[in-house]
Amino acid sequence: MKTQKIPYVAKPVGKNGLIDFTKEENDVWRTLMTRQLQIVQGRACDEYLRGLEKLNLQPDCIPQYPEVNKILTETTGWTLEPVPALIPTDYFFELLSKRKFPAATFIRRREELDYLQEPDIFHELFGHCPMLTQLPYADFTQRYGELALSASTEDREMLARLYWFTIEFGLINTPAGLRVYGGGILSSAEETVYCVESEEPIRKPFDAIEALRTPYRIDIMQPVYFVLSSFDTLLDLLNQDLIGLIKEAKKRGMHKPSYNLKEHTE
């Protein structure tokens, strides 16, 4: 049975850059962060955990963007840009190209604690910001924005897959075993466990052309993940002709979706 979609409205940002969160919203943050802090241990990559430690996010209340920006600016030159949940594509890519990460100003409601289709402030702060303190990830994200901004509409649809299988749902092999670095996973209690420990999904060594040929759905546990051998792979990708890779992917053709096409939401 489907539940009714709950509308979310961006909270206003004051002149000082602060957002006025309610007690319930701070309680939701506390519930989410306390739970997820336990889950990411032994599943998130060391780079993410170091970033989390550097940011020093507190579970008591939702961190304010100015305090997070201070740390991001000092480490990799990034800042968070408060935006509504959904923004125009051009604006999204423009922000990334300027080392500004678009970040929502609302948090999910308690009735949608385990899954929210729209990115909220927990997804942005806990999922993405720790990795934005790491240069390979931060540089790749900026370069992605630059390339996507100059790409055609059709090529952007392809590039969205590359973003999905790296920045949002990327895995990496480490000496300690398979670990997570994708923000979409690390802000999800269920998928953080599933992607590393379940025998159901297919895990493929990262290949840019294969990722570009692979469709996805945003509202399910991912059936396919791509695994980096190291973060150097992202840096190497920056030096490749991504538009050329897109052309090659189109030439080879798209893979058959490994999910139900009736509710395709890519």
Question: In the 8-state DSSP scheme, what is residue 261?
Answer: G
Sequence letter at residue 228: L
Q: Are the beta carbons of 105 and 151 closer than 8 angstroms?
A: no
Torsions phi, psi for 145 (to 5 deg): -60, -40
Let me know if 187 is a catalytic residue: yes
Residue from 25, 97, 128, 191 carrying the catalytic annotation: 128
Let me know if 264 is a catalytic residue: no
Distance of alpha carbon 237 from alpha carbon 218, whole angstroms: 24
**Residue located via tokens 């990708």:** 237
Q: Which segments of 99-194 are extended strands (E)?
A: 100-104, 171-174, 177-180
Distance of alpha carbon 164 from alpha carbon 170, whole angstroms: 8
Residue from 97, 168, 188, 191 carrying the catalytic annotation: 168
Angle of helix 153-163 versus helix 135-150 axis, rounded to 10:
160
Residue from 81, 97, 187, 188 carrying the catalytic annotation: 187
Let me know if 128 is a catalytic residue: yes
Residue from 123, 124, 188, 191 carrying the catalytic annotation: 123
- Give the active site residues: 123, 128, 168, 187
